[in-house]
Structure 1
């Protein structure tokens, strides 16, 4: 029994240290609001910025959209600890509400299974129906 207790203590300490090391992903925001916009004045491209706040290189293994109308692009190289990068998202700007999810899969240890759900929202209207005050607010938010 005297030998088992120190072994168990070392095991728990070892697991505690292991759990706190690795890549960690921190996004500036997990939601981008397009506001009210139109296809003629907006190319539909937005950017999710993130930082690797961990101690190991962050690898973004896959980025998927909830539908084909939204095309995300991911970094191709590992992101070193302390460095930032971005995930670019292009929405096709079909008229109507925008409610889409972008799923990011990585080796980050600070999120369940290394997976983060990002959201885009807003509304695309015909050009002549855009409220000038809403458009100005949307442009100031970007």
Structure 2
């Protein structure tokens, strides 16, 4: 009986080692997208492109953001080795403020968790700052 358990244990170890031979790898074209300065209500959709550089299908199980104002969309199907995919991110540009958000991607890749970032600033063009107005100076006349 002892030999049977030893044999089964060694068999399970060898199976797990063989399963490790093929692994998915996720490589993003860029991990930060800079919106720059955009107007309130502008198009807030941006896309993170990636490639499966591994030799097993890549399955993205979860994509989440650090705030409800940012909505990420993950691919539904596995990404085969050598193929590309994308994660679409939509930021609510009706919020006038600086953008500093993190999108977390969880997959079966060699690095199972990857953090992506978006940054920029949303301005309201109808509200101009006193600092931006250039009026004639009394001294200039």
2:49, 2:126 → 1: CA distance? 32
Larger radius of gyration: 2
The 3 A distance-change label for structure 1 pair 126 and 83 is: same
Residues 35-50 of structure 1: pairs in structure 2 closer than 5 A? 35-40=36-41, 42-50=42-50
1:38, 1:27 → 2: CA distance? 27
Aligned residues: 113
Alpha-carbon deviations, 1:61-111, whole Å to 9, x = none? 0000001000000000000000001000000011010000000000001x2
Query: Counterpart of 1:96?
Result: 97
Secondary structure at the counterpart of residue 127 of structure 1: coil
Cα RMSD of the aligned pairs, angstroms, is 2.1
- Taking structure 2 as the reference length, the TM-score comes to 0.74
1:32, 1:68 → 2: CA distance? 18
Greater shift, 86-95 or 18-27, is seen at 18-27
Query: Counterpart of 2:54?
Result: 54
1:39, 1:62 → 2: CA distance? 29
2:19, 2:127 → 1: CA distance? 55
2:113, 2:26 → 1: CA distance? 10
Unaligned runs of 5+ in 1: 1-10, 131-142
Deviation at residue 20 of structure 1 after TM alignment: 6.0
Unaligned runs of 5+ in 2: 1-12, 129-141
- Taking structure 1 as the reference length, the TM-score comes to 0.73
Residues 11-90 of structure 1: pairs in structure 2 closer than 5 A? 21-40=22-41, 42-90=42-90
Query: Which consecutive segments of 4 or more residues in structure 1 shift more than 6 A?
Result: none
Query: Counterpart of 1:126?
Result: 124
